[in-house]
């Protein structure tokens, strides 16, 4: 399969090495909400969809990413309530969407108190994903 249509998961050079190292550190120290959701997303639990966590995409690290569905799932903690953060989050989301990605955002407390609802919303988004052009996913 060719690389046309694929999103390069990273930038190049030193920036990429720094971003990749930061993502690795973030995977080792997840927030409680990220850890809880990861237990539901890992090991292809959604009809065979594969998720990566703390995955670099160009210049950003997204919480969860499903390449097949072009789906990003973000868990917003208290840092997202800081002044100026909303503008950054909007710019970041617009950039990711410009790559053809869908972005779903959930607050920490939504994941912690309503995990089943969050999981259902993600499953519904995945269900709306068309199958591979070479056949059904699996």
Residue 92 domain flag: yes
So what's the pLDDT on residue 17? Answer: 67
Q: Is the pLDDT of residue 6 over 80?
A: no
Residue 44 domain flag: yes
CA 120 to chain centre: 16
Residue 3 domain flag: no
In angstroms, rounded to a whole number, what is the distance separating the alpha carbons of residues 79 and 15?
23
Residue 137 domain flag: no
As for how many domains the chain has, the answer is 1
So what's the pLDDT on residue 8? Answer: 52
Residue 13: band (very low, low, confident or very high) from pLDDT cuts 50, 70, 90: low
Residue 71: band (very low, low, confident or very high) from pLDDT cuts 50, 70, 90: very high
- Say if residue 102 is exposed, middle or buried (CB neighbours under 10 Å; 0-12, 13-18, 19+): middle
Domain that holds residue 117: 32-127
CA 107 to chain centre: 14
In angstroms, rounded to a whole number, what is the distance separating the alpha carbons of residues 35 and 47?
20
Q: Calculate the alpha carbon distances from 130 to 96, 99, 133 in Å.
A: 19, 17, 8
Torsion of the alpha carbons at 138, 132, 40 and 95, rounded to the nearest 10: 160
pLDDT in tens, 117-132: 999 999 999 988 766 5
Entry pTM: 0.77
Dihedral class, residue 61 (left if φ above 0, else alpha if ψ from -120 to 50, else beta): beta
């Amino acid at each position: 399969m060719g690389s046309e249509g694929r999103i390069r998961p990273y930038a190049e050079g030193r920036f990429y090495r720094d971003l990749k190292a930061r993502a690795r550190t973030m995977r080792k120290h997840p927030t409680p909400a990220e850890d809880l959701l990861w237990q539901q997303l890992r090991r292809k639990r959604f009809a065979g969809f594969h998720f990566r966590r703390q995955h670099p995409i160009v210049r950003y690290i997204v919480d969860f990413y499903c390449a097949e569905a072009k789906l990003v799932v973000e868990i917003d903690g208290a840092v997202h309530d800081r002044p100026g953060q909303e503008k950054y989050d909007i710019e970041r989301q617009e950039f990711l969407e410009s790559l053809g990605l869908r972005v779903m955002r959930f607050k920490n407390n939504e994941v912690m108190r309503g995990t089943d609802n969050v999981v259902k919303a993600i499953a519904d988004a995945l269900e709306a994903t068309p199958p591979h052009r070479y056949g059904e996913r699996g």
